[in-house]
Copies of this chain bind each other. A is one copy, B any other.
Amino acid sequence: MRELKVDLGERSYPIYIGSGLLETAGDYVQKHGISIKSPLLVITDEKVAPHYLDTLLTSLETAGYAVASAVVPSGETSKSLKVYEEMMTSAIEAKLDRSSAILALGGGVVGDLAGFVAATYMRGIKFVQIPTTILAHDSSVGGKVAINHPLAKNMIGAFHQPELVLYDVDTLLTLPSREVSAGLAEMVKHGLIRDADFAHWCEENADQLLALDKDALAYGLLKGCAIKAEIVSQDEQENGIRAILNLGHTIGHAIEAIAGYGEFLHGEAISIGMVGSAKLGVMRGADASLHEDTKRMLKAIGLPTSLPEHLSTEDIMSAMMHDKKFREGHMIFIIPTAIGEVTIAKDVRAEDVRLVLEELKKEV
């Protein structure tokens, strides 16, 4: 079992990563000061529940907790105000009080939804993350929780840090392989922005990671979480440096926004976005190898690195203009300068981005 502390002053919390953690979740929860006198609510989704919900409930009940659970549909549509209201109803019916905690058992969708419920139920109660996807190594660090508005993703949310994160790598074995690669995209991203050695390690260990080797996963998740945690510690509310975590996301979000539902997973879209950002980096003076290395690393974990022809460049451009990261009208991009290093550029020209999108369609 590996342990990592996310350093946020009073709101600091530990991340435990390892095998067999779900069976002992009750002890962990109790050890982290969650009152046995108050009921708990586990929020999970319909794909995760059949595999892991009973194990978790049994562990919590054995530790002495009264626990209710709520199962939401799988996928992004559960990050809606409708499901949010249903979860509030479940919390009230389960008689959660101000000392209660909400536990998220699932991927980023469940984590974001349950976290926002915890952030706003009775003006905020405790929250525990039990991630079951690789992508969730990203979403479980940093305290960003949110649901979607019909007009914009993640538009309704809060900053709400968990009491602890319990990452049981055994749960990853049932993850569909496309979700595995998509989740690893964020892991590679963490290497690309801050740690060249780790980026190279991901490439070298791509086969083990894709085969869900527990040691490789535990190390990779720990490193990924640690890099994110370090950045978040410096800038909890995203007023500055935290923005570098958005490498590949400006283009990636635009691709997600205009592509047909289900065409791209988030990790796949940002993979293309990271290749695009590397291209922008080269255009702005970085060594040409930056682009080739980035592309090779992402390919190694089975991710797309080119843009399908049928996606209109102009549609992507205008989707980007709506992106909330264009603070006060400037075009802000996270641009790599070398593997493991990025810069926040506030003066990126729309023509250059358009050119990069065109070139992304020609990548092989």
Contact = CB atoms under 8 A, between A and B. Distances in A.
Interface string A44-62: 0000000000000000000
Interface residues of A, number: 35
A156 interface: yes
Interface in A114-173: 119-124, 144, 146, 149-152, 155-159
Contacts of A156: 88, 120-121
Contact of A122 (B84, B119, B124, B155): B155
Contacts of A92: 149, 151-152, 155
Interface string A92-125: 1100011100000000000000000001111110
Nearest to A89: B151
Contacts of A329: 37
Q: How many copies does the complex hold?
A: 2
A237 B125 CA distance: 11
A324 interface: yes
A92 B324 CA distance: 10
Interface of A: 35, 37-38, 81, 84-85, 88-89, 92-93, 97-99, 119-124, 144, 146, 149-152, 155-159, 237, 324, 327-329
Q: Which 6 A-B pairs have the closest CB atoms?
A: A123-B157, A92-B151, A37-B328, A120-B156, A88-B149, A81-B85
